[in-house]
Each structure stands twice: as structure tokens, then as C-alpha cells.
Amino acid sequence: MKNKFSLEPCELDQDWDSFIATSPHGTPFVHSQFLALLDVKYHAYYCCKGKEKIAAVLLIVDEHEQRAIGHHDVIHDGIMHRNIAHLNRAQRHSELFAAQEYIAEYLADRYAQVTLKLHPAIQDIRAFLWVNYHNDGPKYAVTPRYTSVLELDEFTTPLSALEHSDNYSNSSVSRRQEIRYGIKKQVTLSESQDFTLFAHYYGLTMARQGIEINPARLDALAVRIKSLAQQGLLCMYEAHTSNQEIGSFATYLLHGDTAYYFYGANHPEMRDSHTGTAVLWQAFPLLAQKGVSKLDLEGINSPQRGWFKLSFGGNVEPYFHIRLDKTDA
């Protein structure tokens, strides 16, 4: 069956974005405009069975284009299968496995290093695990990762009381308390265009963690966030105190009915103002108004941040980082 498949190099154009939009594994991280703003080298392919496109493949590569190295802002890359809802279960399993088998072997032959960050919906990765299974050739190593996903359907209509919210009921005791305090103290949320102030707050947030970011990088971040917002790929919210002081920002990438938490920032001197919770909680109904039914809080893999995101009561979903290194490369 393998000789029926091919990987055809392609550009990130309108056809690519259309394929990604209909794929169950599409995300904003592989959208052509998102990647253009990163200014990275990439290799993009369609996996074809005969002349039919059955998957797309995106790799962020090094300057020599010999290693697929990924990028810290591209949370998911690798393989995006076509929509196969029209197939029965056995046919779906067969197509997904066959495509991944061909892709896994092709990448192992073509690149000195392969780093993939798969979509959470890709749960069957046997094809990668079986590369060079019966010999001493290089093998893919798999690292499980986790994210927290919230369902926002309940926010499409106004809630008559917090207690009627499943998300509120499933939040931790301390998070429910913060939500109530924010409402009581009249913390409010609005969509924001103040990208320069956001970048400044982000610099302050990182400095508090002992990470200094130079002004040029912060300026570049502001430009990138602004461009994504102008293209409709991102929305940014700012949370205010009752005195209209901005305490927190949050940015959300948009893709179909799913939003992804991207960058957030807080003023270090306003950490007790309850804006850090409000910039998420009060964004839920605003995102729902934009047609978002699911919010991916984008990773709970840091002990410092994982518990904060989980405190909003989302579901834990695993996904896979896959890596292959050729020791003789």
C-alpha cells in the first residue's frame, strides 16, 4: 500500500488554509498568516494517496533545512488529516494509520532530526512507534503532554446566577472565590487594541519571574499580536478595576469553533486586584458570542501555571510530542 502514497511539497497559501480549516486537527498555529509572522523556515507537504490529498504536514526546520526543530509558539504542528467523517470506523483507522506510517518513515529517512507536536485529537500513534521496530535503526521517542479544555456552550446565553454554571461549579474553591471577588469589586473586561501596553505588561510579567526580555523583542511581539488581531485570527481582552486601571491582558487565537489561550500579561503591582482571574472568566461569554464553543488553555505542563489553568475546571486532554534523532547524523 505504501507505494500508493507520496509527500508533495506545497506552499502555505489559500488552498492550504482551506484544507486546515476542514481538518479535525487544524489549529491557528499552522495557518499561513500565523507562520508568516514568525518568519521561520518551514517545509510543508500534502500526503497524497494517488492524486487525493489525505493529510497535510508542517515542519519548522533549521536554517540548513535538515532538521525539523519546531518553534515554541507553534503549539501543534506535524500532521493534519483530512476530514474523514464520511468513512466508517474501520476505514478511518485504516486511513489514519496508513498515512502516518508513510509519513513517519519518510521523515525518518529525509531529516536528521524530527520534532512533531501533534494535535490532541491524534491519539493513535502506533505508526511512529513501529518505525525500525525490528532493527537497530533510529526510533521515535514519545513524550505525553497535557492541556486543559473548557466547554463554553453554556455562555451563549446570559447566566442568571453563578451557581447555574457548570464551569463555575467545576472550578476550584479558590478560583470560585476569585470570580466572586472580581464581580463584587466591579472588575470589568473589554476587547483591547492597546498592543503596546500589553507588550509592556508582558515584559513586567516575565521580569517578575527573573526573565528579562529586550525592548526590541517586546516591540516585535506587539506588532505580531496586532497583525493577528487585524486578520481576525486573534482577540485580546483587558481587565480593569473599578477605577479603570488595567491589571491584566489575555490574547486568544481563533480557529473555527475553538479558541486557544496564547499570551497573557499582568501588572505585578496589581496581582491582588482579581483581574488575572477575570481576564479569563469574563472572556468566556465574549468568546462564546464569537461562536467559540471550546477553549484550549494551551498546556498545563508547568508546575507554576498548570494548577492555575486547571482551577477553572476544564477537562484534561493528552497530546503527544514525537522526536527522532539520528545519532550518526
**pLDDT value of position 216:** 96
Q: Which domains does the chain have, with CATH numbers?
A: 2-145+319-325 (3.40.630), 153-292 (3.40.630.30)
Given the C-alpha cell 467559540, which residue does it identify? 292
pLDDT at 173 over 80: yes
pLDDT at 288 over 50: yes
What is the pTM assigned to this prediction?
A: 0.94
**pLDDT value of position 163:** 85
Strand-pair partners of 321: 117, 143
**pLDDT value of position 23:** 98
| Cβ contact 57:47 at 8 Å | yes
Pair type for strands 113-117 and 67-68: parallel
pLDDT, tens only, 177-205: 999 999 999 999 999 999 999 999 999 99
pLDDT category at 168 given cuts 50, 70, 90 is very high
**pLDDT value of position 329:** 44
pLDDT, tens only, 81-112: 999 999 999 999 999 999 999 999 999 999 99
pLDDT category at 304 given cuts 50, 70, 90 is confident
Q: What is the mean pLDDT of residues 129-157?
A: 95
pLDDT at 2 over 70: no
Q: In whole angstroms, give the CA distance from residue 31 to residue 283.
A: 23
| Residue 51 dihedral angles phi and psi, to the nearest 5° | -105, 5
The share of the chain scoring above pLDDT 90, in percent, equals 91
Alpha-carbon torsion (263, 267, 270, 271), positive or negative: positive
pLDDT at 66 over 50: yes
**pLDDT value of position 1:** 52
**pLDDT value of position 303:** 80
Q: 76, 127, 105, 130: which is closest to 319 by C-alpha? A: 76
Q: In whole angstroms, give the CA distance from residue 296 to residue 235.
A: 14
| Cβ contact 251:264 at 8 Å | yes
| Residue 142 dihedral angles phi and psi, to the nearest 5° | -120, 130
**pLDDT value of position 24:** 98
Q: What is the mean pLDDT of residues 27-33?
A: 98
pLDDT at 319 over 60: yes
- Give me 172's grid cell: 476550584
